[in-house]
């Protein structure tokens, strides 16, 4: 099949390369020329394990192309995927201007029947909006259909998630249209649900909201554990053994960040309000999440006292491991508070430092965790990169001025770490 993918962000790039790898001819289009030029040189705009190799392989095999020519790509495509950004506005509403721009671009180039697929995370009703924009602006009198096919990939495991998703959701206006998408996904061999467009659009938000709810729930339980002297890791494990609940997304810590959960929950609150429903549960999820960083910083201040002049070493800057994405990363919030209180911040992250330098210029960036530890009054763990779990802790201790660890992601064993001579504080554990 010939496919056009509009937008070369996380979703677009991964969608494009996966469909190419499955044997389709794919053109990924972006209006940012520098991005397309870089992609054509084999330079990826994001860090994502396995992406670069897969892109190179499919480019060499002439199945994957990068271009700024939307017109040409739409003309030859049977299916067009809209994978553009859907950032939040100040009031939490989703900004659909990029989606609208893509729809207008399609309208100006559509030269025969095509299926237009919304893969970006968009509020319910956006399928109708896209249909209307194309209908109004199309220059040829041709038919087309609009489908919702939300993407569930996670950063850091995007390729694996896209190749082997838990489910494929196809929200289509008719069975015939759905079948065309089924064909495209057939080789993946994963469960598929065919539904209407509205339901598919809501499934994406409901999924993200549910996962965010699990995180806020366990973080609230972590607060109770701290007050009661219980251990949230054991509580989560015990709760998660119930197969109706499951172990996933019950890691207490600094709360959820990234480019999806915070904005998607706000968007769903806004959509609910538009329909006249006050989604109090979602608001509480956001409130609990907002309290995580101030609570953590309070623990740090309580234990090490006056921050002015103290050297704090930060391990991990990206919003989660295996990505260089700094969007809504807890590190930004925490480091800014510590800097404001007069602390000196040294930090290390395996891949996010280049991005972090643009947002946090006052930080002293280090080559590794050991350099971070040199002369530090405390180490603060913000992102649970695997390599931090494997550090030589004896060496870390000897390098520090005062061996104190504030573990925002509960990556170390409390008893063992204390036995080694560290003052150790974590989340929801005695």
Active site residues: 260
> Does the footprint of ligand UDX cover residue 208 (CB under 6 A)?
yes
The answer to whether the beta carbons of residues 146 and 173 sit under 8 Å apart is yes
Sign of the C-alpha dihedral, residues 117, 119, 120, 122?
positive
Question: Rounded to the nearest whole angstrom, what is the least distance from the CB of residue 415 to ligand UDX in the complex?
Answer: 22
> Does the footprint of ligand UDX cover residue 251 (CB under 6 A)?
yes
247 contact partners, CB below 8 Å, separation of at least 6: 236, 237, 240, 241
The DSSP code for 253 is: S
Stretch touching ligand UDX by CB under 6 A, among 36-44, 193-201, 251-259, 386-394: 251-259
> Does the footprint of ligand UDX cover residue 292 (CB under 6 A)?
no
Name the one residue in this structure whose structure tokens are 């070493």.
313
x-or-dash string of contact with ligand UDX, 318-337, rule CB under 6 A = -xx-----------------
C-beta closer to ligand UDX: residue 190 or 401: 190
C-beta closer to ligand UDX: residue 188 or 420: 188
Rule CB under 6 A: which of 152-171 touch ligand UDX?
Answer: 152-155
> Does the footprint of ligand UDX cover residue 73 (CB under 6 A)?
no
Count of residues near ligand UDX by CB under 6 A: 20
Stretch touching ligand UDX by CB under 6 A, among 16-24, 46-54, 75-83, 150-158: 150-158
215 contact partners, CB below 8 Å, separation of at least 6: 249, 250, 251, 255, 256, 261, 289
> Does the footprint of ligand UDX cover residue 249 (CB under 6 A)?
yes
Question: Rounded to the nearest whole angstrom, what is the least distance from the CB of residue 190 to ligand UDX in the complex?
Answer: 14
Rule CB under 6 A: which of 392-421 touch ligand UDX?
Answer: none
Among 17, 146, 250, 353, binds ligand UDX (CB under 6 A): 250
Question: Rounded to the nearest whole angstrom, what is the least distance from the CB of residue 159 to ligand UDX in the complex?
Answer: 13
Cα 361 from Cα 335, distance rounded (Å): 11
C-beta closer to ligand UDX: residue 36 or 215: 215
Q: Which of 144, 129, 201, 208 is nearest to 4 (CA)?
A: 144
> Does the footprint of ligand UDX cover residue 215 (CB under 6 A)?
yes
C-beta closer to ligand UDX: residue 256 or 348: 256
C-beta closer to ligand UDX: residue 47 or 261: 261
231 contact partners, CB below 8 Å, separation of at least 6: 225, 428, 429, 430
Among 144, 256, 388, 406, binds ligand UDX (CB under 6 A): 256
C-beta closer to ligand UDX: residue 26 or 250: 250
Among 12, 16, 127, 257, binds ligand UDX (CB under 6 A): 257
The contact set with ligand UDX (CB under 6 A) reads 151-155, 208, 211, 215, 249-251, 253, 255-258, 260-261, 319-320
């Amino acid at each position: 099949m010939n496919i056009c993918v509009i937008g070369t962000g996380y979703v677009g790039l991964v969608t494009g390369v996966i469909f190419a790898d499955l044997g389709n001819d794919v053109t990924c289009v972006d209006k940012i020329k520098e991005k397309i030029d870089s992609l054509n040189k084999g330079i990826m705009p994001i860090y994502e394990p396995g992406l670069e190799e897969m892109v190179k392989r499919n480019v060499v095999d002439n199945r994957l192309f990068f271009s700024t020519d939307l017109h040409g790509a739409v003309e030859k495509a049977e299916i067009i995927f809209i994978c553009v950004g859907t950032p939040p506005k100040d009031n939490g509403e989703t900004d659909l201007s990029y989606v609208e721009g893509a729809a207008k671009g399609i309208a100006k180039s559509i030269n025969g029947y095509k299926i237009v697929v919304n893969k970006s995370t968009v509020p319910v009703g956006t399928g109708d909006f896209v249909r209307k924009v194309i209908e109004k602006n199309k220059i040829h009198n041709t038919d087309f259909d609009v489908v919702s096919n939300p993407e569930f990939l996670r950063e850091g495991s995007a390729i694996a998630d896209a190749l082997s998703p838990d489910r494929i959701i196809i929200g289509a206006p008719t069975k015939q249209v759905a079948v065309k998408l089924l064909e495209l996904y057939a080789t993946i061999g994963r469960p598929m649900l065919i539904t209407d467009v509205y339901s598919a659009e809501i499934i994406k938000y409901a999924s993200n909201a549910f996962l965010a709810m699990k995180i806020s729930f366990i973080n609230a339980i972590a607060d109770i554990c701290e007050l009661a002297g219980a251990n949230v890791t054991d509580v989560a494990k015990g709760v998660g053994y119930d197969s109706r609940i499951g172990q996933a997304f019950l890691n207490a810590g600094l709360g959820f960040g990234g480019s999806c959960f915070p904005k998607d929950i706000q968007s769903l609150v806004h959509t609910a309000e538009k329909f006249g429903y006050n989604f109090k549960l979602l608001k509480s999820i956001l409130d609990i999440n907002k309290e995580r960083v101030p609570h953590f910083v309070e623990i740090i201040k309580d234990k090490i006292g006056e921050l002015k002049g103290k050297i704090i070493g930060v391990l991990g800057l990206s919003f989660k491991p295996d990505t260089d994405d700094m969007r809504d990363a807890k590190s930004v919030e925490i480091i800014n508070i510590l800097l404001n209180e007069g602390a000196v911040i040294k930090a290390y992250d395996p891949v996010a430092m280049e991005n972090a330098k643009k947002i946090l210029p006052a930080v002293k960036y280090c080559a590794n965790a050991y350099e971070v530890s040199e002369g530090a009054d405390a180490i603060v763990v913000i992102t649970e990169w695997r390599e931090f779990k494997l550090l030589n802790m004896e060496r870390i201790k000897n390098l520090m001025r005062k061996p104190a660890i504030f573990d925002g992601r509960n990556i170390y064993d409390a008893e063992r770490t204390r036995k080694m001579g560290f003052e150790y504080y974590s989340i929801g554990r005695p």
